[in-house]
Amino acid sequence: MKIRVANLISNTINPFLTGMIIILAICLESTNTIPDALRWALVATGLSMLPIFFVVVYLVIKRRVDSVFANTRQQRTIIYFVSLGLAVIGCIALWLLGAPYALVISFLVALIAGTVFMIINFWWKISLHTAAITALVTILITLFGYPALVSALLVPLVMWSRVALGHHSILQTIAAAILVPVIIVPLFLALGLI
């Protein structure tokens, strides 16, 4: 039962879905109308989350990674490189298309955070599930204030699921939960989003 629940949490609150929610939240906060927010969210998702997902599925089919979440540390390197390349392309494309400033900056911050996590991945497998949910919580609190604090309850839930499944140690999840706000908050401050 414990493994079933952990799998449900891990599969539901995953980096792909969390990334799309982050994009949507930023678009909703940084545009004037819901149709504009949805349009930019579709563009941003099409430049980032969907291509990464399709690349990962292709790698699973070709047996270059063990699962959609690439549970083996060494298998994640190619996914990091693809993600960082897409973040660069996304930053440039969104800027050229006149996307909301917050959306362009979020791609830049994702590029910086992704680079840090990729470097760590050369030696140690930090939890991307924990990083993604912590990024979402950090961004929600940044954009919407104290009411968004309730979303912080998701962080320990995801951390528990990753440890219960044996994909990460407690330290790997704690490191991700600490590192993400340490990267995001100063960058958002420096770039005028807070």
Q: First vs last Cα of the chain: how many Å apart?
A: 42
Give pLDDT, residue 170. Answer: 96
Indicate the domain borders of the chain: 2-190
Would you state the pLDDT for residue 64?
A: 86
The whole-number pLDDT of residue 193 equals: 76
CA 79 from centroid of its chain's CA atoms: 13
Which pair of structure tokens corresponds to residue 91?
Answer: 């930053």
pLDDT of 126? 93
Placement of tokens 């919407």 in the chain? 144
Type of residue found at 88: V
Distance CA 83, CA 103 (A): 16
Provide the pLDDT for residue 168.
Answer: 93
For the chain, 194 residues long, the average pLDDT of each consecutive 10-residue run is 91 92 94 95 94 90 82 84 92 95 92 94 93 95 90 96 94 97 92 79
> Which pLDDT belongs to residue 68?
75
- Token output for 193: 């989003």
Residue tagged 């047996």 (tokens): 63
The pLDDT of residue 152: 94
Q: What is the pLDDT of residues 109-119, one digit of tens each?
A: 999 999 999 99
Helix (H) or strand (E) holding 78: helix 76-97
